[in-house]
Structure 1
Amino acid sequence: MYKLDVDPSQSSIIIVAGVSGAGKSTIVNVLEDQGFTCIENLPCFLLVQTIDYLKQINKAGGIKAAISLSSDSLSSENLTDLDRLVESVDVTIQRWFVTADPEVLLARYGETRRRHPFSVTIKHLPQAIKAEVSALAHYAQMADYTVDTTTLSVQKLKTLIVKRLQSTLTQKYSSTEIHLFSFGFKYGMPKKADYIFDVRCLPNPYWDKALRAYSGQDAPVIDYLSNQDSVEAMIQDIALFLNKWCIQHQAQGRDYIEIGIGCTGGQHRSVFIVDRLEKHLGSVFADITVTHRELGK
């Protein structure tokens, strides 16, 4: 992982809050790896004293600290105090908010079997998640940076955070990561995507029994689709659009762009087009990842 060179003459504190299960601990671990002094799960009412202490012990150099706040301490009064603190102290404070889709959070709790911090008073997990989201609503609205981990693996989340640090600490935008993925509409729409392209109007190899068992990564299907003028026209049009507008997103400091290509079953056309688009976009963008959601089903 790329290690940032932190300028000790500058002071910066990152406050991390978010819904439990969304990845706060992972983010704090990344910040610690990057040379930040990290304090995890701090009650919000101790924040002012903690920042004062950090300033006292770092008089000779700048502060580089990350503090994650416990959600159950984020009362409206404490959040108001936090807003005043951000405006008054002579230290750069960034407020980061970490979130994820409630259904994904439920699945993550099912896998880890950990207790939700609100479960002391709210026994039903979906209601506890809902209550936590409500408690964090003001903080989420005021956050300087929001990370939605709904579709992110741990590794992709780590990459995203390092890029954010490169961007904010060096005042230069890093290369935007573009995630291309194929999917089948018959299995449901993606939960999150910045752009979705429907390619179901193109000739479908599924209806050729000799091709049905293959995927868009196999030679027979590749040959079939490569010889279809409409398929090539669709690829060129999508590539032209993405090259133009992803560059605009990058110029605005966008870290991550999700692009979905959907066909009926997610086995042939969408897979082939995603792999072709990876080559097209690779000539412009350095960081491209590809997944095929339905392959193997």
Structure 2
Amino acid sequence: MKLLIVSGLSGSGKSIALTTLEDCGFYCIDNLPVTLLEDFINDVMLADRKTYEKTAIGIDARNQSDSLLNFASIIKLIRSKGIECEVMFMQAEEAVLLKRYSETRRRHPLTDYNLPLKEALVIEKEILKPIARLADFVIDTSRTHYHQLRDLIRDQVGERNVRHISIQFQSFGFKHGVPLDADFIFDVRCLPNPYWVPELRGLTGKDQAIIEFLDREPNVLEYFQDVSAFLERWIPRFEEEGRSYLTIAIGCTGGQHRSVYLADLLAKQYKSQALNIIIRHRELH
């Protein structure tokens, strides 16, 4: 049996995550009080294993903070019953959350006449710390639109092969901010930049002309070999420790050329090793 706990900041995409998981065959429950979680496991999941073979439960800041203090003990108890339990935590930058609430005009669950939205976000982050600390993987949705988030959830949770670690190679541009959900970040801004070649400027790292340009550069090959050697050594260590997910972020200036090229090159290499590989190009639309 599998239980996935979905939590995170309000406005970060938890509802999208749950509906996506439902499409992937999970039985989904939103906003279950933490105090009822143990009873749900004993009286519902274990009593009907077939119906609740894959279950996802949304837990958010509407829980009283005191009830979240024992969250680690609850997770330990769930796993002791033979249930595979993972925690997914979703977040986004404060400015992005403020903008989303402004656009939707929805009320944050913690706000009232005496508590403005910005302060509510700070309090919410503090309340959810016990869950965030135990997250098996974190998804930052600051620059992820609806369809990208659904694809990401499907790849990481809904349709992945659970026998191997799932590795996401993500390209990004430093000028748009560093991805907060990355486990490792490699800076490729030191490599030759096709942007300064006028006929290549409007292309991306997926175009053949860019690929040929970077293939000819010795420094690019050396960088690729060094990163590959690092990952070859350390990915097995993470897998041995029981990690299910690993995000490798490759960043250049704008996230269009060098980072895209190298993320694709690394993903291609590791796809031949029976690993679950996810590719995401954050700045490409």
Scaled by the length of structure 1, the TM-score of the pair is 0.70
1:149 aligned onto 2:159: no
Q: Residues 155 and 218 of structure 1: is their aligned pair in 2 closer, same or farther, counting only changes over 3 Å?
A: closer
Matching residue of 1:175: 164
CA contact (8 A) 2:172 2:259 kept: yes
Give, as a single letter, the amino acid of the residue that structure 1 aligns with 2:152: K
Following superposition, the deviation at residue 26 of structure 1 comes to 4.7
- Larger mean Cα displacement after TM superposition, 85-94 or 63-72: 85-94
- Look up the match of 2:157: 161
Distance in structure 2 (CA, Å) of the matches to 1:83 and 1:237:
38
Asked if 1:284 is matched to 2:273, the reply is yes
Other-structure match for 1:9 = none
**1:131 aligned to 2:127?**
no
Q: CA deviation at 1:62?
A: 9.9
Q: Separation in 2 of the partners of 1:218 and 1:95? A: 38
Q: 1:241 aligns with which of 217, 221, 230?
A: 230
Which residue matches 1:197?
186
- CA RMSD, aligned part only? 4.0
The one-letter amino acid of 2:63's match is: S
Tell me: CA distance 1:257–1:109, structure 2 relative to 1, closer, same or farther (3 Å): farther
User: Per-residue deviation at 1:52?
Assistant: 6.6
Question: Which of 78, 89, 96 is the aligned partner of 1:98?
Answer: 89
Q: Choose which of 203, 208, 218 in structure 2 pairs with 1:229.
A: 218
- Alpha-carbon distance, 1:30 to partner: 6.0
Tell me the distance in 2 between the aligned counterparts of 1:269 and 1:194: 20
* TM-superposition CA deviations, 1:153-188 (whole Å, max 9, x none): 123224433478x75xxxxxx322322233333343
Task: Between 85-94 and 256-265, report the one with greater CA deviation.
Answer: 85-94
**Paired residues of 1:27 and 1:161 also in contact (CA < 8 A):** no
How does 1:258-273 map onto structure 2 within 5 Å? 258-273=247-262
Deviation (angstroms), 1:121: 5.5
Q: Deviation at 1:263?
A: 2.6
Post-superposition offset of 1:134: 1.8
Q: Is the 8 A contact 2:72 2:130 kept in 1?
A: no
* Per-residue CA distance 1:24-80 (angstroms, 9 max, x = gap): 44555566567766543234455566567538x93999976655445323241x346
Within the candidate set 175, 186, 206, 1:217 is matched to 206
TM-aligned CA deviation for residue 118 of structure 1: 0.9
| Percentage identity across paired residues of the two chains | 38
Matching residue of 1:171: none
Aligned counterpart, 1:42? 32
Are residues 224 and 51 of structure 1, via their aligned partners in 2, closer, same or farther at CA, if it must alter by over 3 Å?
closer
Whether the 8 Å CA contact 1:160–1:255 is kept in 2: the answer is no
- Give yes or no for the alignment of 1:19 onto 2:15: no
Distance 2:86 2:277 in 1: 28
Instruction: Write the deviation string for residues 187-209 of structure 1: whole angstroms up to 9, x where unpaired.
Output: 43333322222222223333333
Q: Distance in 2 between matches of 1:37 and 1:208?
A: 52
Q: Tell which structure's C-alpha radius of gyration is larger.
A: 1
| Distance change (3 Å), C-alpha of 1:120 and 1:221 | same
- Secondary structure at the counterpart of residue 129 of structure 1: helix
Q: Distance in 2 between matches of 1:210 and 1:252?
A: 47
In structure 2, the CA distance between the partners of 1:270 and 1:82, relative to structure 1 (3 Å rule), is: closer
**How many Å separate the matches in 2 of 1:35 and 1:285?**
24
Give the Cα–Cα distance (whole angstroms) in 2 for the partners of residues 239 and 279 of structure 1: 12
Distance in 2 of aligned mates of 1:73 and 1:31: 22
TM-aligned CA distance change 1:195 to 1:44, over 3 Å = closer
TM-score, normalised to structure 2's length? 0.73
Work out the CA distance in 1 between the residues paired with 2:48 and 2:284: 56
Once the 2 structures are TM-superposed, how far is the Cα of residue 228 of structure 1 from its aligned partner?
1.9
Distance 1:284 1:110, change over 3 A: farther
